[in-house]
Amino acid sequence: MARRKLIAGNWKMNGHLDHLRELHGIEKAAKTHPQVDVAICPPATLIAPAVARVPGLAIGAQDCHAADKGAHTGCLSAPMLKEVGAHHVIVGHSERRADQGETDSDVKAKAEAAHRHGLTAIVCVGETEEERDAGQAEAVVTGQVSASLPSDATADWLVVAYEPVWAIGTGRVPTLDDVATMHAAIRATLSDIIGDEAPGVRILYGGSMNGDNAAELLAVDNVDGGLVGGASLSADKFVPIIEAGAALA
Q: Which residues are catalytic?
A: 93, 163
Residues numbered 64 to 103 that lie near ligand 13P (CB under 6 A) are: 93
* 189/208 with CB nearer ligand 13P: 208
Select from 23, 64, 125, 209 the one that contacts ligand 13P (CB under 6 A): 209
Is residue 208 involved in binding ligand 13P (CB under 6 A)? yes
Stretch that binds ligand 13P, among 140-148, 151-159, 195-203, 226-234 (CB under 6 A): 226-234
Considering the complex, what minimum distance in angstroms separates the CB of residue 69 from ligand 13P?
Answer: 27
Query: Among 60, 92, 174, 206, which residue interacts with ligand 13P (rule: CB under 6 A)?
Result: 206
Beta carbon nearer to ligand 13P, 197 or 201: 201
**Contact characters 158-197, ligand 13P, x per CB under 6 A:** -----x----xx----------------------------
Q: Which is nearer to ligand 13P, 111 or 209 (CB)?
A: 209
| Three-state SS annotation for the chain | CCCCCEEEEECCCCCCHHHHHHHHHHHHHHHHCCCCEEEEECCHHHHHHHHHHCCCCEEEECCCECCCCCCCCCCCEHHHHHHCCCCEEEECCHHHHHHCCCCHHHHHHHHHHHHHCCCEEEEEECCCHHHHHCCCHHHHHHHHHHHHCCCCCCCCCEEEEECCHHHCCCCCCCCHHHHHHHHHHHHHHHHHHHHHHHHHCEEEEECCCCCCCHHHHHCCCCCCEEEECHHHCCHHHHHHHHHHHHHHC
Q: For binding to ligand 13P (CB under 6 A), which residues are involved?
A: 10, 93, 163, 168-169, 206-209, 227-231
